Amino acid sequence: MGKKQETVEDVPCGNTVALFGLDQFITKNATLTNEKEVDAHPIRLVKFSLSVVSDPMVFCTVEESGEHVTAGAGNFHLDMCFNDLLNNLTDIAGIIKSDPVVSFRETVLEKSSQTVMSMSPNKHNRLYMQARPLEEGLSEAIDSGQIGPSDDPKVRSKILSEEFGWDKDLAKKI
């Protein structure tokens, strides 16, 4: 899942949502729908709760090779997680633990010196791109919810142009 879990009133199209606690209401399968359906109960009236069972600081992925990769806050944290895994889940056999590997991430520190072009498969559309870092404070504004995907485009454009110096026409296209 993500870094954190939070309750939201609505989610814009194209985003992934996790619903917890449905297993106590659904025995085989079910269809979730909106309140416009005659037989359906409004989903906003259903309360969901989650008892945290796992460590939210641990992130697990399965690589293309089939290798399971576990990421955590450090060596000691990962050792504690593996000890819990081995002690609490006794049916697991054959866990091979490798030496820890530090993963590196990249970021953009300055505007790229060149503009690159990419064409659509039908060769009718061209996209020109140039990498550059976000303006100071923009990522914090996104994280705090000051700017979001469901904001009114005019309001978002105004904030981006006035507070962060974006071109007004470009800001409207987000």
For the chain, domain boundaries = 1-98, 116-172
Q: Could you give the CA distance from residue 140 to residue 156 in angstroms, rounded to a whole number?
A: 15
Strands 116-119 and 126-129: antiparallel
Q: pLDDT value at position 36?
A: 56
What Cα–Cα distance (Å) separates residue 63 from each residue in 60, 67, 68, 70, 96? 10, 5, 6, 11, 15
* Strand positions, DSSP E, 25-105: 59-62, 68-71
| pTM (global) more than 0.75 | no
Are the CB atoms for 12 and 150 separated by under 8 Å? Answer: yes
Q: pLDDT value at position 45?
A: 43
**Two tokens at 138?**
């923009």
pLDDT tens track of the chain, all 174 residues? 456 777 888 877 767 777 777 777 776 667 666 555 555 444 444 444 444 456 778 888 888 888 888 888 888 888 888 887 777 665 666 677 788 777 777 788 899 999 999 999 999 999 999 998 989 899 899 889 889 888 898 999 999 999 999 999 888 888
DSSP label at residue 42: P
Judge: domain 116-172, CATH 3.30.230.10: yes
Q: Could you give the CA distance from residue 155 to residue 161 in angstroms, rounded to a whole number?
A: 10
* DSSP tally for the chain: helices H, then strands E: 4, 4
